[in-house]
Amino acid sequence: MLGSWRDIDWIGIVLWILRAIIIVMVIWGTIATIIDNPYTYRQWIDFIIFGIAQGSMYALIAIGYTLVYGVLFMINFAHGEFFMSGIMTATVFIATPMAASGFLDAQPILALLIIGLVAVIVSISVALLTERVAYRPLRKAPRLVPLITAIGASFFWQHYFRGLYGSQVIPFPVPDVLRGTILIFGTQVLKSQIIVIVVAVIMLIGLNFFILRTRTGKAIRAVAEDKDTAALMGIDVDRSVAITFATGAAMAGVAGLLYALVYTQVHWYMGFIPGIKAFTAAVLGGIGSIPGAAIGGLLIGLFESLGPALFLEGLGIPAPHQLKDVIAFTMLILVLIFRPQGIIGERLSEKKA
Amino acid sequence: MENKTHFDWKLAVRYGLLAGAVSLSVSVIGMVELFAQRDLIAGVLTLGQVILFLAPVGLSYIIAGKQPPGKKGYALLAGLITSLVASLPLVILVILATSFNLREFLPNVSPALINTLTFGQGVIPGIFILMIVMGILGILSAGMYLLPERFRKPIMMGLLWTLIIGMFSEILTERLRSFFGVGISKVVFSGKALRPTTALVIFIIVTLISAAWYRRGEAVKERIADSPTMQSKQFRWGVFAVVGVIFLLLPFLLGTYLSEVANNVLIFAIMGFGLNIVVGFAGLLDLGYVAFFAIGAYMMALLTSDADQGIAGMSFWLAIPICVAVAILAGITLGIPVLRMRGDYLAIVTLAFGEIIRILVLSDLLKPYIGGAQGILKIPKPTIIGLDLVKPDQFYYVVLLGCIFAAFISWRLSGARLGRQWMAMREDEDVAEAMGINLVSTKLLAFAIGAGFSGLAGAIFASKLTSIFPHSFSLMISINVLCMIIVGGIGSLPGVIIGSLALVGLPELLREFKEFRLLMYGILLIVMMLARPEGLWPSAVRKRELLAYQETGPTADPTAVESET
């Protein structure tokens, strides 16, 4: 009948074709690379460890997205700026003078603890200020409104800190102890990367304890479940939301320090790309779920560091490392199109997604 | 019983600290110093000082309004305390900066800034002058609140207009000179600022006019509105014709430089009309809108350029429909995968699309075809009957044509069946589908038409610049256009032009703003959402909805794609 061709799910078919093309391209590229074998075993190990280090950083940032989304159903677009603000301030005011006075090399652990603490405090302050001014008054507004203010807050903080510390890249002084490599399981690994992975794991375990075992964590989970009922049970919703933001920002502050250790520099624009990637990680793992954020972060980190070498090179693309951000963005798009609920995480209703 | 009200010290101090924090912030991020180079009134006032004092003055005024009525002394005291407290962080900054080398940490705390803060009088006298000036301003602004409304409003108008004219003195001087010769312009302006005497004259004239308007204006307005000519169709067409003629003659009034600004404003307005369809009518928040702008621009470059990358050597007029068609195709292609997405996820995915296109354009992968970071050069300007439209005031007509085209289509669509389908979809997709609206084609049409406008703007943009580079197509453009339609009023067609004038035109006239443009946009987005979500020139429908929203609470949904979860 006339209506019958309309009943076919055209979009479904198109999406399936798209999925097939991408899978074929990835497999083809991978096989071509494996046959060609342009990299040594050592290089592959480097890629993987770098991927894990970067991934654990993304995981820490992704926690912030996941917590806020879990509680407010809102994409906190400014989260990357919380990440940037802490370490920028700590670098300018603490790390650089410490390096100049020699304290950094004399007491590296104490120095890094102080730097991290300052970064966390600044990140939390920026997050609380943003929440108070740009998000809290709009909690009952339609969902696109806080997204727009979040974009506004993101641009505001970027350019505020740019004005504050200048638009140039600021070098981050890494203590001499952390330079160079150590031997682990027979392979040379950069010390800073090991530190990043260890710190990230400790932070994630601590966070899990905080959310699952403490009273405050329980309150946060209750608010995430149902704000009105939580309020009836005597939970201060505003306070719980603020604590949620602060927790996410604290994780971002630590992630900032790890970023500085890995890349040895900070700048005002550093929050944007890691922010988007961490958001991708949160969505990939299943937004709202903390283990999901950790897994998603690791996967994004690995894909990004292995991807260009593994399948883009096989496709014959010149300078594949230029396109590593494209991999992250493409993954974001694919996840949102094909599996918006992520790897872990309950299926969100259409309304939520 | 005597109603004893104590003076609220805490509130005044808190307001003062807030104002001080703002003033300190604008100082240390470099805004004060940058804008101090722009004189408003020669030798009296710079834009930097206005920015520095804005928060203390504003908060003094607000706190005066919070004092119990009838206590005039309280209001003045509150204003004084607020502004004095506000000056403290600045005083501390001055002292710190003179004793330590703060510049190591904060590059913008320069000797020039300290000089501005202390009025060039040295540290110790300067600190006292700063505090005294702050205090006086605080009392004055609190006192302003105490004035009866019929004095207050005209005076504020007078101040506002004097500041505005002062701000644009540079351009006004140039215009006055070209129309009336150097003489007149020398009388009004000195260098690039108002002369103090003329500033006073302008202030008095504006104040008097607005005082008269305040007394009689409402009555006059009503009489005009009630008169039959005002409501007739001919009158509306008359207004239309006058506006049209003004637009046609604009380049002659504006001169070369301002025509260039007008071109930018109109190009962004074309994009604004497109995004207005996607976001405003159909409610699909698209943050990757710049992708289609880039596609339009690169198509134009490829089709017409004389450089190596040019493939066709077409003329502008032949290329432009192709550019638009390609952009529409791209809009549909990128639209299909996201058809099932809603709200914030859609925003993030479109943002990712935009970034992917930018990175691809920059990469070595496409470099042989579109030039990588070096871009494409030698794009010819359009010609009409042998006449090259080279100068900005000639090119203006091309842009105007595009803009009228976009505006006309938007206007016709907004009332058409398709437009109303979009709006139904915006309010509630499920209900719209139940009413028999085909969501797939309706959404794709929104993406396609929006992309088409953006491609048109891109094509004109490429031809205007005669060369394009990947850096022109950053996320900032998308944010810029989004801000434009939010400031103008989502879904409102005049709002697009207003938004474009305010967000594209103004920053070009005040070139110092460039560095802080995005900072301002950020603040603007937040403030607009908090204070005036309907925009400066809201569409009638939206105004009604928002009114209902304020009355009934969040159940009636003004800007959202979906309802509260």
Question: How wide is the angle at C-alpha A192 spanned by C-alphas A188 and A194, nearest 5°?
Answer: 65
Mutate to test the interface with B, among A143, A313, A347 (most CBs of B within 10 A): A143
- What pLDDT, on a 0 to 100 scale, did the predictor assign at position B4? 55
Q: H/E element holding A202?
A: helix A191-213
Residue whose entry in the numeric block shows the structure tokens 């952009």: B327
Q: Is residue A254 part of a domain?
A: yes
Inspect the interface and report whether the beta carbons of B359 and A326 lie closer than 8 Å.
yes
Extract the tokens encoding B401: 């044509």
- Gap from A334 CA to chain B (nearest CA, Å): 9
Contacts of B340 in chain A (CB under 8 A): 11, 337
Chain A residues in contact with B524 by the CB 8 A cut-off are 152
A188 backbone dihedrals φ, ψ, rounded to 5°: -80, 130
Residues in chain A within 8 Å Cβ distance of B531: none
Q: Measure CB to CB from residue B356 to each of A142, A319, A326 and give the nearest one.
A: A326
CA-based R_g, chain B, Å = 27
Question: What pLDDT does residue B553 have?
Answer: 47
- Using the Cβ of B344 and the Cβ atoms of chain A, whether some distance falls under 8 Å is answered with yes
Residues B553, B555, B561, B564, Cα dihedral to 10°: 100
**What amino acid occupies position B28?**
V
* pLDDT at residue number B558: 44
* pLDDT value of position A253: 95
Query: CB distance from B80 to chain A under 8 Å?
Result: no
The burial class, CB within 10 Å (0-12 / 13-18 / 19+), for B97 is buried
Nearest neighbour of B353 by CB, restricted to A158, A164, A333: A333
Chain A residue numbers touching B108 (CB-CB < 8 A) = 163-164, 166
Looking at beta carbons, which residues of chain A come within 8 Å of B356?
Answer: 326, 329-330, 333
Q: Do A318 and B565 touch (CB under 8 A)?
A: no
Asked whether the beta carbons of residue B356 and residue A329 sit closer than 8 angstroms, the reply is: yes
**A57 and A63 Cβ atoms separated by less than 8 Å:** no
The whole-angstrom separation of Cα B493 and Cα B538 is: 9
| A1 confidence band (pLDDT: 50, 70, 90) | very low
Give the pLDDT confidence score for residue B560 in this predicted structure: 43
Q: Chain-wide mean pLDDT for chain A?
A: 86
The CA distance from B361 to B236, in Å, is 47
CA-to-CA separations, A65 to A79, A201, A249, A298, B177, in angstroms, rounded: 7, 18, 10, 15, 56
Confidence (pLDDT) at B270: 95
pLDDT of residue B1: 41
Residues of B in contact with A134 (CB under 8 A): 526, 530
User: Which residues in chain A touch residue B333, judged by CB atoms under 8 angstroms apart?
Assistant: none
Percent helix, strand and coil across chain A, each rounded to 5?
Answer: 75, 5, 20
CB A351 to CB B563 under 8 A?
yes
Tell whether B398 lies on the interface with A, counting CB pairs under 8 A.
no
Give the nearest chain B residue to A78 (CA atoms): B522
Q: Give A120 or B483, the one with higher predicted confidence.
A: A120
Model confidence at A351, pLDDT cuts 50, 70, 90, reads very low
Residue A228: list chain B partners with CB under 8 A: none
Pick from A164, A165, A227 the residue to mutate for testing the B interface (most B CBs within 10 Å).
A164
Angstrom distance (rounded) from CA B98 to CA B95: 5
Within 8 A by CB and 6+ apart from B6, the residues are none
Task: Give the residue with greater pLDDT, A256 vs B147.
Answer: A256
More confident call, A325 vs B418: B418
Q: Can you tell me the distance from the alpha carbon of A115 to that of A89, in angstroms, rounded to the nearest whole number?
A: 9
Query: Looking at the DSSP assignment, which residues form a beta bridge with residue B388?
Result: B383
Tell me how crowded residue B419 is: count the other CB atoms within 10 A of its CB: 19
Neighbours of A27 (CB within 10 A): 12
DSSP B438: -
Task: Identify any residues that bridge with B45 across adjacent strands, giving them in sequence order.
Answer: B41
The predicted structure's pLDDT at residue A157: 94
Asked if residue A198 has pLDDT above 50, the reply is yes
Question: B477, B526, B561: best mutation site toward chain A, by most A Cβ within 10 Å?
Answer: B526
- In the DSSP assignment, the letter for residue A2 is T
The answer to whether B378 touches B466, Cβ cutoff 8 Å, is yes
Residue of B nearest to A315 (CA): B365
CA distance A213 to chain B (A): 28
Decide: A47 and A245 in contact? Cβ < 8 Å: no
Residue in B closest to A152 by C-alpha: B522
CB atoms B343 and A144 under 8 Å: yes
User: CA B324, CA B311: separation in Å to the nearest integer?
Assistant: 17
- Chain B residues touching residue A165 (CB < 8 angstroms): 105-107
Are A50 and A308 a contacting pair, CB within 8 Å? no
More confident residue, A12 or B3: A12
The answer as to whether A23 is a domain residue is no
Would you state the CATH architecture of domain B254-552?
A: Orthogonal Bundle (1.10)
User: Smallest Cβ distance to B526: which of A10, A74, A152?
Assistant: A152
CB contact under 8 Å between A147 and B553, yes or no, is no
Give chain B's length: 565
Surface of B (422-441) touching A: CB under 8 A: 440
Instruction: Give the Cα separation of A181 and B219 in Å (integer).
Output: 83
| Cα of A188 to nearest chain B Cα, Å | 32
Chain A, nearest residue to B32 by Cα: A163
String of DSSP letters for B223-291: HHHHSHHHHSHHHHHHHHHHHHHHHHHHHHHHHHHHHHHHHHHHHHHHHHHHHIIIIIIT----S-THH
Instruction: Please indicate, yes or no, if residue A116 is contained in any of the structural domains.
Output: yes
For position B290, what pLDDT does the model report? 92
Q: Which tokens hold the place of A81?
A: 């700026």
Task: Name the closest residue on chain B to residue A143, using Cα atoms.
Answer: B560
The terminus-to-terminus CA distance of chain A in angstroms comes to 35
pTM for the model stands at 0.85
Residues of chain B positioned with their CB less than 8 A from the CB of A18: 337
Contact (CB, 8 A) for A280 and A113:
no
Count of CB contacts below 8 A, A vs B? 178
Q: How far, in whole angstroms, is CA B53 from its chain's centroid?
A: 22
Q: Is residue A339 part of a domain?
A: no
Looking at residue A121, its pLDDT comes to 96
Beta carbons of B525 and A152 less than 8 Å apart: yes
Residue A98 belongs to some domain of the structure: yes
Which has the closest alpha carbon to A288: A228, A343, A213, A242?
A343
pLDDT at A5: 60
CA angle A248, A251, A256 (to 5 degrees): 125
Contact (CB<8Å) B342/A166: no
**Residue A166 and residue B108: Cβ atoms within 8 Å?**
yes
CA pair distance A196, A198, nearest whole angstrom: 6
Contact across the interface for B553 and A140, Cβ inside 8 Å: yes
Domain ranges of chain B: 9-146, 149-213, 254-552
Reading chain B (565 residues) residue by residue, the pLDDT tens digits are 445 567 788 888 999 999 999 999 989 888 888 888 888 887 788 888 888 998 999 999 888 888 887 778 888 888 899 999 999 999 999 998 888 888 888 888 888 888 888 888 888 888 999 999 999 999 999 888 888 888 888 888 888 888 888 888 878 888 888 877 777 777 777 777 888 888 888 889 988 888 888 777 777 777 777 776 666 677 778 888 888 888 888 888 788 888 888 999 999 999 999 999 999 888 888 888 999 999 999 999 989 888 777 777 788 888 899 999 999 999 998 888 888 777 778 888 888 888 888 888 888 777 777 777 788 888 888 877 777 777 888 888 889 999 999 999 999 998 889 999 998 888 888 898 888 888 888 999 999 999 999 999 999 999 998 888 888 888 888 888 988 888 888 888 888 999 998 888 888 877 777 778 888 888 888 988 888 877 777 776 666 665 665 555 444 444 444 333 3
Q: How far is A282 from chain B (nearest CA, A)?
A: 13
First to last CA, chain B: 51
The reply to whether B217 touches chain A by the CB within 8 Å rule is no
Sort out which chain A residues have CB atoms less than 8 A from B352's CB and list them: 276, 329-330, 332-333
Distance CA(B43)–CA(B198), nearest Å, equals: 13
The predicted structure's pLDDT at residue A3: 53
Binning pLDDT at 50, 70 and 90, where does residue A348 land? very low
CA distance A191 to A178: 6
Question: Would an 8 Å CB–CB cutoff place B355 in contact with chain A?
Answer: yes
Shortest Cα–Cα distance, A165 to chain B (Å): 5
Question: What distance in Å separates residue A92's CA from the closest CA in chain B?
Answer: 6
**Cβ within 8 Å, pair B529-A152:** yes
Where in the sequence is the domain holding A64, given as residue range(s)?
Answer: 54-294
Question: Chain A contact for B479, CB < 8 A?
Answer: yes
What distance in Å separates the CA atoms of residue A5 and residue A17, rounded to the nearest whole number?
19
Could you tell me if B351 lies within 8 Å of chain A, comparing CB atoms?
yes
8 Å CB contact of A138 and B529? yes
The token pair at B340 is: 């099932």
Question: Rounded to a whole number, what is the distance in Å from the CA of B477 to chain A's nearest CA?
Answer: 13
CA distance A328 to A273: 10
Residue A259 has pLDDT above 80, yes or no: yes
